[in-house]
Amino acid sequence: MTISGAKQETIIFAIETSCDETAMALVACKGGITNPRFRIIKNEVLSQINIHKEFGGVVPNIAKREHITALPQMIKMFESLPEFQKAKIIAVTTGPGLTPALWTGITFARELEKKTDKKVFSANHISGHLYSFLLSNPRNMNSLFPMIALVASGGHTILFLMKDLLTLQKLGETRDDAAGECFDKGARLLNLPYPGGPELEKLAMLGCAKTVNFPRPMISQKNYDFSFAGLKTSLLYKLKNNNKANWKDISVSGSSQNTNAKQNADIAASFQQAIIDCLLSKSLRAAKTFHCRSIVVSGGVSANKLLRKEFTREAKKNKIRFIAPEMRFSVDNASMIAASSYIENLKGIRRNFQADGNLAI
Ligand code: KG4
Ligand code: ZN
């Protein structure tokens, strides 16, 4: 089965199980590589957050167990739709991600292929994030290129230059932790529940970002790489020093609960600002260097409201268009897997059909 890419709609049924979200989507796709258009028929996500919360992070075998239970339940919401019968393609994430979790989606997709007239295709999770902005059908597609695309998620932070949807060049990536991982580890140090990113963002809203001058690792280096591990260590030391100082305060003046809460909000705001500054600075420099007309940010971190605000402001100053996916498509979902599968089929990309936790884009 190939996708002609012309006027006819191709309906794709997509499955995503790379981490702690079981997701399925039915997406109608049409148009060629210069103007692909998407219509979401149904998009379902079942999050396992509450189950993993007590462990402070995702436990791969529990994720696997939960996907195995959720997949047959979730497909019931799709099977009765006429468009589901019309879908001849199943797109399933084969990597990167947690290998046991990936296998659940792959096995489920293969079983479905055996029972129906649908053909299964392998999809890459990072490509899913990268192309997720297309689900909003941005106007004047041609005027977006060349484009800088930043994918910032829990597992990856990669900066791409795109001359068009077909021509992708990796400019740089993180040398250690991903931006989302930095949010998550920072949140844990601040005793915030999992998943850390949105919790740290909430706390940061109550604080002042100018309070602590956290380092901006690699920000002045003339490359497009990132490094976030040192930032987390700086936060650890800052909190240790504060604790010592607060103990002294308590012995002099009694309770320091309010001071602590205010201090933590200021620290969270400063920490968040440092991450955003690094992402923004490199994206903007790349966009100027390569005379780009747009910057796209995707992946879970692109759900951060301050990040969106600052990218929008700086892009506007530089007459560059800024695009982020719809909030529901910033975090993991299956519609983005359908979109990337459509684009990659148009490009003629075929991937190995096996779970690969470290699958490259
Ligand atoms: O793309 P995603 O849903 O899954 C991966 O592919 O990793 O991204 C999840 C990551 C987590 O690290 C999470 O803390 C972060 O995205 N994240 C955020 C926000 N929402 C999710 N980080 C900062 N601010 C947010 N609002
Ligand atoms: Zn993701």
Tell me the C-alpha distance between 37 and 134, whole Å. 7
pTM (2 decimals)? 0.94
More confident position, 20 or 4: 20
Query: Is residue 201 within 8 Å of residue 272, measured between CB atoms?
Result: yes
Q: What is the pLDDT of residues 17-27, one digit of tens each?
A: 999 999 999 99
Tell me the C-alpha distance between 361 and 357, whole Å. 12
Provide, rounded to the nearest whole percent, the portion of the chain with pLDDT above 70: 94
Sequence-distant (6+) residues with CB within 8 A of 83 are 11, 26, 28, 41, 42
Q: Is 40 helix (H, G, I), strand (E, B) or coil?
A: strand
Please tell me the predicted confidence (pLDDT) of residue 248. Answer: 61
Q: What six digits make up the tokens of 53?
A: 């919360």
Q: Which helix (H) or strand (E) holds 152?
A: strand 147-152
In ligand 1, the atom with minimum distance to the C-alpha of 181 is 12
Q: Which residue has the tokens 């280096």?
A: 221
Measure the CA angle with vertex 229, ends 211 and 214; round to 5°.
Answer: 15
Tell me the C-alpha distance between 15 and 264, whole Å. 39
Does pLDDT of 90 surpass 80?
yes
Provide, rounded to the nearest whole percent, the portion of the chain with pLDDT above 90: 83
**Residues by chain with Cβ below 5 Å of ion ligand 2:** 153, 332
Tell me the torsion sign for CA atoms 174, 180, 181, 187: positive
Please tell me the predicted confidence (pLDDT) of residue 289. Answer: 98
Please tell me the predicted confidence (pLDDT) of residue 44. Answer: 98
More confident position, 73 or 358: 73
Q: Is the CB of 130 under 6 A from ligand 1?
A: no
Q: What is the pLDDT of residues 261-271, one digit of tens each?
A: 889 999 999 99
Query: Is residue 318 within 8 Å of residue 280, measured between CB atoms?
Result: no
Q: Is the CB of 153 under 6 A from ligand 1?
A: yes
Q: Which residue has the tokens 């792959």?
A: 106
Identify the CA nearest to 150 among candidates 275, 32, 30, 17: 275
- Ligand 1 centre to CA of 180 (Å) is 5
Sequence length of the chain is: 361
Average pLDDT, the chain: 93
Query: Is residue 7 within 8 Å of residue 350, measured between CB atoms?
Result: no
Q: What is the pLDDT of residues 185-207, one digit of tens each?
A: 999 999 999 889 999 999 999 99
More confident position, 82 or 260: 82
For 232-250, letters b (16+ CB in 10 Å) and e give bebbeebbeebeeeeeeee
Q: What is the pLDDT of residues 293-325, one digit of tens each?
A: 999 999 999 999 999 999 999 999 999 999 999
Tell me the C-alpha distance between 17 and 249, whole Å. 49
Query: Is residue 49 within 8 Å of residue 20, measured between CB atoms?
Result: yes
DSSP structure class, residue 226: B
- Structure confidence at residue 347 as a pLDDT band (50, 70, 90): confident
Q: Is the CB of 132 under 6 A from ligand 1?
A: no
Residue type, 115: K
In ligand 1, the atom with minimum distance to the C-alpha of 299 is 1
Q: Does residue 146 have a cis bond before it (omega within 30 degrees)?
A: yes
Report the nearest-CA residue for atom 7 of ligand 1. Answer: 154
Q: What is the pLDDT of residues 116-154, one digit of tens each?
A: 999 999 999 999 999 999 999 999 998 999 999 999 999
